[in-house]
Amino acid sequence: MPDILPSADFDFSGRSALITGAASGIGAAMAHWLDARGIAHLVLVDLDADGLTALSLDCKVERVAGDVSDPAFWAGFADRPAFDHVLVNAGISDAFPIAGADFARWRRVMAVNLDGAFLTLSAVLGAMQRAGKGSVVVTASAAATKPEATTAAYAASKAALVQLARVAAKEVAPDGVRVNAIAPGGVDTPIWDGMEFFAGMAKDAGSREAAIAAMGKMATPLGRYASAQEIAGQIGFLLSDMAATITGAVLASDGGYTL
Protein backbone atom coordinates (compact mmCIF):
# COMPACT_ATOMS: atom_id res chain seq x y z
CA MET A 1 0.00 0.00 0.00
CA PRO A 2 1.48 3.43 -0.91
CA ASP A 3 2.58 5.62 1.97
CA ILE A 4 0.65 8.91 1.91
CA LEU A 5 1.61 10.12 5.39
CA PRO A 6 4.11 12.72 4.09
CA SER A 7 1.18 14.59 2.56
CA ALA A 8 -0.95 14.43 5.68
CA ASP A 9 -0.35 18.13 6.33
CA PHE A 10 -1.55 19.04 2.81
CA ASP A 11 1.85 20.05 1.53
CA PHE A 12 1.54 21.12 -2.13
CA SER A 13 5.19 22.16 -2.47
CA GLY A 14 6.59 21.98 -5.99
CA ARG A 15 3.20 21.51 -7.60
CA SER A 16 1.15 23.50 -10.09
CA ALA A 17 -2.56 24.26 -10.22
CA LEU A 18 -5.09 25.84 -12.55
CA ILE A 19 -8.12 27.61 -11.10
CA THR A 20 -10.92 29.01 -13.24
CA GLY A 21 -13.24 31.62 -11.80
CA ALA A 22 -10.32 32.66 -9.62
CA ALA A 23 -10.95 36.38 -9.16
CA SER A 24 -13.42 36.08 -6.29
CA GLY A 25 -15.41 33.74 -4.08
CA ILE A 26 -14.43 30.08 -3.93
CA GLY A 27 -11.79 30.44 -6.65
CA ALA A 28 -9.95 33.24 -4.88
CA ALA A 29 -10.22 31.41 -1.54
CA MET A 30 -8.74 28.31 -3.20
CA ALA A 31 -5.82 30.33 -4.58
CA HIS A 32 -5.01 31.60 -1.08
CA TRP A 33 -5.49 28.11 0.42
CA LEU A 34 -3.02 26.51 -1.99
CA ASP A 35 -0.59 29.41 -1.67
CA ALA A 36 -0.53 28.94 2.10
CA ARG A 37 0.32 25.26 1.59
CA GLY A 38 3.33 25.70 -0.63
CA ILE A 39 1.96 25.52 -4.15
CA ALA A 40 4.75 26.51 -6.53
CA HIS A 41 2.79 27.78 -9.53
CA LEU A 42 -0.80 28.98 -9.94
CA VAL A 43 -2.51 29.75 -13.23
CA LEU A 44 -5.58 31.84 -12.45
CA VAL A 45 -8.31 32.38 -15.03
CA ASP A 46 -11.22 34.81 -14.92
CA LEU A 47 -12.98 37.40 -17.04
CA ASP A 48 -12.36 39.88 -14.23
CA ALA A 49 -8.80 41.01 -14.91
CA ASP A 50 -8.87 43.58 -12.11
CA GLY A 51 -10.01 40.94 -9.62
CA LEU A 52 -7.14 38.68 -10.63
CA THR A 53 -4.66 41.53 -10.25
CA ALA A 54 -5.95 42.29 -6.76
CA LEU A 55 -5.03 38.83 -5.47
CA SER A 56 -1.87 39.02 -3.37
CA LEU A 57 -0.05 35.69 -3.40
CA ASP A 58 3.48 34.52 -2.60
CA CYS A 59 3.86 31.78 -5.20
CA LYS A 60 4.53 32.17 -8.91
CA VAL A 61 1.25 33.34 -10.45
CA GLU A 62 0.02 33.65 -14.03
CA ARG A 63 -3.12 35.75 -14.28
CA VAL A 64 -5.02 35.00 -17.50
CA ALA A 65 -8.09 37.09 -18.29
CA GLY A 66 -10.42 35.24 -20.62
CA ASP A 67 -13.79 33.67 -21.31
CA VAL A 68 -13.84 29.99 -20.36
CA SER A 69 -16.75 29.40 -22.74
CA ASP A 70 -14.67 30.47 -25.76
CA PRO A 71 -12.91 27.53 -27.47
CA ALA A 72 -10.30 29.92 -28.90
CA PHE A 73 -9.26 30.88 -25.38
CA TRP A 74 -8.33 27.29 -24.56
CA ALA A 75 -6.24 26.87 -27.69
CA GLY A 76 -3.51 28.71 -25.81
CA PHE A 77 -3.33 25.87 -23.29
CA ALA A 78 -2.59 23.13 -25.82
CA ASP A 79 1.19 23.16 -25.31
CA ARG A 80 1.28 23.66 -21.54
CA PRO A 81 2.79 20.96 -19.34
CA ALA A 82 0.40 18.99 -17.19
CA PHE A 83 -1.06 20.64 -14.14
CA ASP A 84 -0.88 18.70 -10.90
CA HIS A 85 -4.25 20.05 -9.79
CA VAL A 86 -7.19 21.75 -11.47
CA LEU A 87 -10.24 23.47 -10.00
CA VAL A 88 -12.99 23.88 -12.60
CA ASN A 89 -14.85 26.64 -10.85
CA ALA A 90 -15.92 29.41 -13.24
CA GLY A 91 -19.66 29.93 -13.05
CA ILE A 92 -22.49 32.41 -13.10
CA SER A 93 -26.04 32.40 -11.81
CA ASP A 94 -29.36 33.75 -12.98
CA ALA A 95 -32.94 33.29 -11.81
CA PHE A 96 -36.01 33.32 -14.04
CA PRO A 97 -39.12 31.17 -14.58
CA ILE A 98 -39.19 28.70 -17.45
CA ALA A 99 -42.45 29.99 -18.92
CA GLY A 100 -41.67 32.77 -21.35
CA ALA A 101 -37.97 32.69 -20.58
CA ASP A 102 -35.46 34.59 -22.67
CA PHE A 103 -33.45 31.84 -24.35
CA ALA A 104 -30.38 34.05 -24.40
CA ARG A 105 -30.33 34.06 -20.58
CA TRP A 106 -30.54 30.25 -20.56
CA ARG A 107 -27.70 29.97 -23.06
CA ARG A 108 -25.51 32.43 -21.16
CA VAL A 109 -25.66 30.30 -18.01
CA MET A 110 -25.09 27.07 -19.92
CA ALA A 111 -22.20 28.55 -21.89
CA VAL A 112 -20.21 29.56 -18.83
CA ASN A 113 -21.17 26.82 -16.37
CA LEU A 114 -21.30 23.77 -18.63
CA ASP A 115 -19.54 24.58 -21.89
CA GLY A 116 -16.77 26.32 -19.96
CA ALA A 117 -16.26 23.30 -17.74
CA PHE A 118 -16.21 20.92 -20.71
CA LEU A 119 -13.67 23.09 -22.52
CA THR A 120 -11.50 23.33 -19.41
CA LEU A 121 -11.46 19.57 -18.95
CA SER A 122 -10.85 18.99 -22.64
CA ALA A 123 -7.87 21.36 -22.55
CA VAL A 124 -6.12 19.93 -19.48
CA LEU A 125 -6.95 16.24 -19.10
CA GLY A 126 -4.84 14.98 -22.01
CA ALA A 127 -1.59 16.31 -20.56
CA MET A 128 -2.52 15.00 -17.12
CA GLN A 129 -3.20 11.55 -18.58
CA ARG A 130 0.16 11.55 -20.33
CA ALA A 131 1.83 12.55 -17.07
CA GLY A 132 0.02 9.71 -15.32
CA LYS A 133 -1.07 11.78 -12.33
CA GLY A 134 -3.13 14.68 -11.13
CA SER A 135 -6.44 15.59 -9.54
CA VAL A 136 -9.37 17.72 -10.60
CA VAL A 137 -12.34 19.14 -8.72
CA VAL A 138 -15.41 20.51 -10.49
CA THR A 139 -17.57 23.01 -8.60
CA ALA A 140 -21.17 21.83 -8.92
CA SER A 141 -23.97 22.81 -6.53
CA ALA A 142 -26.67 21.45 -4.26
CA ALA A 143 -29.00 22.86 -6.91
CA ALA A 144 -27.99 19.85 -9.03
CA THR A 145 -30.29 17.66 -6.95
CA LYS A 146 -32.76 19.97 -5.18
CA PRO A 147 -35.18 21.88 -7.39
CA GLU A 148 -36.17 25.43 -6.60
CA ALA A 149 -38.42 27.70 -8.65
CA THR A 150 -36.67 30.02 -11.13
CA THR A 151 -33.36 28.08 -11.01
CA ALA A 152 -33.85 26.02 -14.19
CA ALA A 153 -30.74 27.22 -16.03
CA TYR A 154 -28.42 27.22 -13.05
CA ALA A 155 -29.71 23.92 -11.63
CA ALA A 156 -29.65 22.12 -14.97
CA SER A 157 -26.10 23.32 -15.66
CA LYS A 158 -24.93 22.09 -12.26
CA ALA A 159 -26.69 18.72 -12.62
CA ALA A 160 -24.94 18.29 -15.95
CA LEU A 161 -21.62 19.20 -14.30
CA VAL A 162 -22.01 16.36 -11.82
CA GLN A 163 -22.39 13.82 -14.60
CA LEU A 164 -19.63 15.45 -16.65
CA ALA A 165 -17.26 15.05 -13.71
CA ARG A 166 -18.26 11.42 -13.22
CA VAL A 167 -17.77 10.56 -16.89
CA ALA A 168 -14.40 12.33 -16.88
CA ALA A 169 -13.40 10.37 -13.78
CA LYS A 170 -14.23 7.10 -15.52
CA GLU A 171 -12.24 8.06 -18.61
CA VAL A 172 -9.02 9.14 -16.90
CA ALA A 173 -8.84 6.85 -13.87
CA PRO A 174 -6.80 4.21 -15.75
CA ASP A 175 -4.15 6.89 -16.29
CA GLY A 176 -3.86 7.79 -12.61
CA VAL A 177 -5.91 11.01 -12.77
CA ARG A 178 -8.75 11.68 -10.34
CA VAL A 179 -11.84 13.83 -10.95
CA ASN A 180 -14.35 14.71 -8.25
CA ALA A 181 -17.08 17.27 -7.76
CA ILE A 182 -18.12 19.39 -4.81
CA ALA A 183 -21.75 20.41 -4.43
CA PRO A 184 -21.99 23.39 -2.09
CA GLY A 185 -25.26 24.75 -0.85
CA GLY A 186 -25.36 28.41 0.05
CA VAL A 187 -21.92 30.00 0.21
CA ASP A 188 -21.13 33.60 1.06
CA THR A 189 -19.66 34.71 -2.29
CA PRO A 190 -20.21 37.64 -4.67
CA ILE A 191 -22.49 35.47 -6.83
CA TRP A 192 -25.42 36.65 -4.66
CA ASP A 193 -24.74 40.29 -5.42
CA GLY A 194 -25.90 39.97 -9.00
CA MET A 195 -29.36 38.72 -8.04
CA GLU A 196 -32.22 41.18 -7.84
CA PHE A 197 -34.01 39.41 -4.99
CA PHE A 198 -30.86 39.47 -2.83
CA ALA A 199 -30.49 43.22 -3.17
CA GLY A 200 -33.98 43.55 -1.76
CA MET A 201 -33.21 41.15 1.08
CA ALA A 202 -30.04 43.03 2.00
CA LYS A 203 -31.95 46.31 2.07
CA ASP A 204 -34.69 44.85 4.28
CA ALA A 205 -32.20 43.10 6.59
CA GLY A 206 -30.00 46.16 6.95
CA SER A 207 -26.83 44.73 5.44
CA ARG A 208 -25.45 42.12 3.07
CA GLU A 209 -24.11 40.08 6.01
CA ALA A 210 -27.48 40.07 7.73
CA ALA A 211 -29.17 38.86 4.55
CA ILE A 212 -26.67 36.00 4.14
CA ALA A 213 -27.20 34.99 7.78
CA ALA A 214 -30.98 35.11 7.41
CA MET A 215 -30.92 32.92 4.29
CA GLY A 216 -28.64 30.38 5.95
CA LYS A 217 -30.81 30.18 9.04
CA MET A 218 -33.93 29.72 6.95
CA ALA A 219 -32.57 27.25 4.40
CA THR A 220 -30.32 24.80 6.27
CA PRO A 221 -30.67 22.46 9.24
CA LEU A 222 -27.27 23.67 10.44
CA GLY A 223 -28.63 27.20 10.36
CA ARG A 224 -25.91 28.88 8.32
CA TYR A 225 -24.22 29.10 4.97
CA ALA A 226 -20.58 28.20 4.37
CA SER A 227 -17.75 30.62 3.88
CA ALA A 228 -15.69 30.45 0.71
CA GLN A 229 -12.69 29.53 2.87
CA GLU A 230 -14.50 26.49 4.30
CA ILE A 231 -15.36 25.23 0.82
CA ALA A 232 -11.75 25.82 -0.28
CA GLY A 233 -10.52 23.56 2.51
CA GLN A 234 -12.87 20.79 1.42
CA ILE A 235 -11.76 21.15 -2.19
CA GLY A 236 -8.17 21.08 -0.97
CA PHE A 237 -8.80 17.70 0.63
CA LEU A 238 -10.22 16.30 -2.62
CA LEU A 239 -7.24 17.63 -4.57
CA SER A 240 -4.71 16.30 -2.05
CA ASP A 241 -3.00 12.94 -1.75
CA MET A 242 -5.16 12.27 1.31
CA ALA A 243 -7.99 11.60 -1.16
CA ALA A 244 -5.83 9.30 -3.29
CA THR A 245 -8.54 6.64 -3.74
CA ILE A 246 -11.47 9.03 -4.18
CA THR A 247 -12.63 9.63 -7.76
CA GLY A 248 -16.02 10.13 -9.36
CA ALA A 249 -17.41 11.30 -6.02
CA VAL A 250 -19.67 14.25 -5.30
CA LEU A 251 -19.07 15.88 -1.92
CA ALA A 252 -22.24 17.57 -0.67
CA SER A 253 -21.37 20.55 1.52
CA ASP A 254 -24.74 22.21 2.04
CA GLY A 255 -25.46 22.44 5.75
CA GLY A 256 -28.13 19.77 5.32
CA TYR A 257 -30.06 21.77 2.72
CA THR A 258 -30.71 18.70 0.54
CA LEU A 259 -31.87 16.46 3.39
What angle do the packed helices 196-205 and 208-219 form, to 10 degrees? Answer: 100
Q: What is the CA radius of gyration of the chain?
A: 18
Instruction: Give the HSE-up count for residue 219: Cα atoms under 13 Å, Cβ half-sphere.
Output: 20
Instruction: Give the HSE-up count for residue 108: Cα atoms under 13 Å, Cβ half-sphere.
Output: 10
CA–CA separation, 147 and 73 (whole Å)? 33
Which candidate in 33, 74, 106, 154 is catalytic? 154
Does the annotation count 154 as an active-site position?
Answer: yes
Beta-bridge mates of residue 28: none
> What residues act catalytically?
154
